[in-house]
């Protein structure tokens, strides 16, 4: 059981780290996507949305190739830290950021798009600096978008399986997240333990979605994945 | 707080790796008599329960800590090739450990056969004693085997099936699953009618109360298809005392007894 508690803790840690890192990464990206008239916008939008339709095994396979110790990125990481990026917690964080990117970007983009240009102009005429406008006008108006984005990112990362299976291995305390722990319990005929974790995840998923529908209304756009 | 408890507390999350390092260093500097180390043991799925028991025994008698990581032999080998941080590899065949030695990822001198597994055809509620050629009377979808592409027990089963001269189309449609433990589970639940199991999976399943196989329902292939399970010390763990200890202990009587208890034969030569 202590192994399962460790998996719960590790999963929460992975999901929290991913969510925290995605907020600063996704915010400027979503803002640009919501406001830009650039011809590249649809291109970037498509790239960001890819993890929604791509099989996780494809993502996992490319990450395995890109991050393994003989590759450029993976080799550099080994030189800097002495550890391999594949089959490590750091590697999983990188994978989760890519895998959950649309779940943060899309709700934020919808929230930013709903901020009327006129309100921002009014704030500007009243002497608000761009920073001021962002912190005191945009942010409060996009609060629900952030809530939706954070809950969905967290929940989606908790539910990650294919990517971890491909490039995470099954290392306790490092990459053995909940979904992998369930898989191993089933593989080793330990159905009681599998039931307990599976039921826990089922309740958690329902609660997160309920939270989103209850408090963020029906304004969020991500439904697939 | 005792050393053991302190180690246990700081063992888990990776963010605490640094803290753990500092504490271990501190303990070391304080002049702890024994040098404790940790090792990750990558283990073929069928050997899981036994490896856990071995880890418990070695942990009780030494200051070292062991983590057992389970997978099919082929998958674990490919993970090691892709940089997985394992220290010892306990495969269910001889080929994968040799491949790792050839690639310089494992030490040739450490290579040894630690167990010989037994493959069996489990066919509950069948027409009497299970027989290979009678299998063709079953729907191929109800016959289950570990995937021969990466699971050694599946490979051994596949060779038997081919030698038995079963119809090629029938053979192609049987169910292939991730590892040999799953086969026993699927049959126990009634999702498959028959399949190729390891003696060790049945013993482990019986202990857990999830699998109950009557003796007459299993046809064993001890002589036709012995499964030699080899292990190696990985090159990255050359200086890891915990990993070395694990490898050295494998041929000692108490450990060999554990391995035999779980349904394996051990090689005759004793050192």
Q: Where are the domains of chain A?
A: 2-216
C-alpha dihedral, B4 to B5 to B8 to B14, nearest 10°: -110
The token pair at A40 is 């590249």
Same domain, B211 and B235: no
Inform me whether the C-beta atom of residue A195 falls under 8 Å from chain B C-beta atoms: no
Inform me whether the C-beta atom of residue B84 falls under 8 Å from chain A C-beta atoms: yes
CA B100 – CA B82 distance, rounded (Å): 11
Inform me whether the C-beta atom of residue B83 falls under 8 Å from chain A C-beta atoms: yes
Same domain, B140 and B97: no
Which pLDDT score is estimated for B101? 97
In a domain, B248, yes or no: yes
State pTM to two decimals.
0.77
In this structure, are strands B175-177 and B226-233 parallel, antiparallel, or unpaired? unpaired
Q: Cα distance from A176 to chain B (closest Cα, Å)?
A: 9
User: What is the extent of the structural domain holding B159?
Assistant: 118-226
Instruction: Show pLDDT as tens, one digit a residue, over chain A (225 residues).
Output: 478 999 999 999 999 999 999 999 999 999 999 999 899 999 999 999 999 999 999 999 999 999 988 889 988 998 888 888 889 999 999 999 999 999 999 999 999 999 998 999 999 899 888 888 888 889 999 999 999 999 999 999 999 999 998 888 788 888 999 999 998 888 777 889 999 999 999 999 999 989 888 887 655 554 433
Interface predicted TM-score of the whole assembly (ipTM), two decimals: 0.71
CA B195 – CA B180 distance, rounded (Å): 9
Is the CB of residue B114 less than 8 Å from the CB of residue B164?
no
Same domain, B205 and B177: yes
In a domain, B204, yes or no: yes
Same domain, B144 and B92: no
- CATH code: domain of residue B125: 3.40.190.10
Same domain, B134 and B253: no
In a domain, B155, yes or no: yes
The token pair at A86 is 């594949």
Which pLDDT score is estimated for A25? 97
Write out chain A residues lying below 8 Å of B45, CB-based.
187-188
Nearest to A96 by CA among A30, A27, A158: A158
Q: Cα distance from B1 to chain A (closest Cα, Å)?
A: 20
Same domain, B234 and B112: yes
Write out chain B residues lying below 8 Å of A170, CB-based.
69-71
Q: Check the CA dihedral A208-A214-A220-A221 and report its sign.
A: positive
In a domain, B15, yes or no: no
Put simply, the answer to whether A87 touches B85 (Cβ < 8 Å) is yes
Which pLDDT score is estimated for B13? 54
Same domain, B125 and B211: yes
Is the CB of residue B90 less than 8 Å from the CB of residue B229?
yes
Model confidence pLDDT, tens digit, residues B175-196? 999 888 889 989 998 889 999 9
Average confidence (pLDDT) over B29-54 = 81
Same domain, B59 and B141: no
The token pair at B154 is 């599946």
Same domain, B203 and B186: yes
Put simply, the answer to whether A187 touches B70 (Cβ < 8 Å) is yes
CA A46 – CA A65 distance, rounded (Å): 23
In a domain, B9, yes or no: no
By Cβ distance, the residue of A70, A87, A189 closest to B181 is A189
Put simply, the answer to whether A85 touches B13 (Cβ < 8 Å) is no
CA A101 – CA A92 distance, rounded (Å): 14
Asked if the model's pLDDT at residue B156 lies above 80, the reply is yes
Put simply, the answer to whether A174 touches B178 (Cβ < 8 Å) is no
Question: Reduced to 3 states, what is the DSSP secondary structure of residue B228?
Answer: strand
Put simply, the answer to whether B82 touches A13 (Cβ < 8 Å) is no
Q: How many structural domains does chain B have?
A: 2
Same domain, B185 and B244: no
What would you report as the CA-atom Rg of chain B, rounded to the nearest whole angstrom? 21
B 15-74 residues inside an 8 A Cβ radius of A: 15, 40, 45, 48-49, 67, 69-71
Put simply, the answer to whether A173 touches B12 (Cβ < 8 Å) is yes
The CATH class given to the A2-216 domain equals mainly alpha
Same domain, B148 and B196: yes
Asked if the model's pLDDT at residue B141 lies above 60, the reply is yes
Quote the distance between the C-alpha of residue B90 and its chain's center.
6
Put simply, the answer to whether A189 touches B13 (Cβ < 8 Å) is no
């Amino acid at each position: 059981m202590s192994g399962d508690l460790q998996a719960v803790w590790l999963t929460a840690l992975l999901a929290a780290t991913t969510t925290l890192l995605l907020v600063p990464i996704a915010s400027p990206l979503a803002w640009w996507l919501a406001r830009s008239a650039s011809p590249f916008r649809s291109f970037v939008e498509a790239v960001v949305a890819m993890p929604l339709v791509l099989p996780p095994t494809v993502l996992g396979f490319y990450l395995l190739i890109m991050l393994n110790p003989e590759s450029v990125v993976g080799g550099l990481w080994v030189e800097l830290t002495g550890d391999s990026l594949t089959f490590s917690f750091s590697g999983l964080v990188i994978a989760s950021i890519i895998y959950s990117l649309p779940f943060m970007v899309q709700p934020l983009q919808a929230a930013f798009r709903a901020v009327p240009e006129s309100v921002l102009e009014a704030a500007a005429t009243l002497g608000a600096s761009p920073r001021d406008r962002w912190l005191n006008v945009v942010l409060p108006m996009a609060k629900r978008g952030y809530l939706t984005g954070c809950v969905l990112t967290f929940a989606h990362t908790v539910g990650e399986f294919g990517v971890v299976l491909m490039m995470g291995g099954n290392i306790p305390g490092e990459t053995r997240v909940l979904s992998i722990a369930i898989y191993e319990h089933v593989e080793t005929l330990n159905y009681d333990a599998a039931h307990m974790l599976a039921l826990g995840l089922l309740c958690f998923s329902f609660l997160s979605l309920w939270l989103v529908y209850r408090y963020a209304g029906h304004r969020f756009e991500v439904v697939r994945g | 707080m005792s050393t053991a408890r302190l180690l246990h507390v700081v063992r888990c999350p990776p963010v605490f790796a640094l803290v753990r390092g500092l504490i271990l260093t501190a303990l070391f500097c304080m002049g702890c008599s024994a040098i404790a180390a940790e090792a990750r043991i990558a283990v073929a799925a069928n050997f899981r329960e036994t490896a856990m028991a071995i880890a418990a025994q070695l942990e009780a008698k030494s200051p070292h800590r062991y983590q057992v990581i389970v997978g099919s032999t082929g998958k674990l080998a490919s993970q090691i090739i892709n940089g997985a941080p394992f220290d010892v590899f306990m495969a269910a065949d001889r080929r994968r450990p040799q491949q790792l030695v050839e690639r310089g990822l494992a030490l040739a001198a450490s290579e040894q056969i630690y167990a010989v597994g037994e493959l069996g055809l489990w066919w509950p509620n069948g027409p009497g004693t299970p027989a290979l050629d009678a299998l063709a009377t079953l729907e191929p979808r109800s016959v289950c085997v570990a995937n021969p592409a990466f699971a050694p027990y599946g490979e051994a089963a596949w060779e038997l099936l081919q030698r038995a001269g079963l119809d090629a189309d029938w053979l192609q449609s049987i169910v292939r699953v991730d590892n040999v433990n799953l086969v026993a589970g699927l049959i126990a639940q009634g999702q498959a009618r028959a399949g190729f199991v390891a003696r060790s999976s049945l013993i482990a399943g019986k202990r857990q109360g999830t699998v109950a196989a009557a003796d007459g329902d299993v046809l064993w292939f001890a002589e036709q298809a012995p499964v030699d399970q080899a292990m190696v010390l990985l090159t990255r763990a050359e200086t890891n005392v915990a990993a070395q200890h694990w490898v050295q202990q494998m041929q000692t009587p108490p450990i060999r007894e554990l391995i035999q208890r779980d349904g394996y034969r051990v090689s005759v030569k004793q050192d």
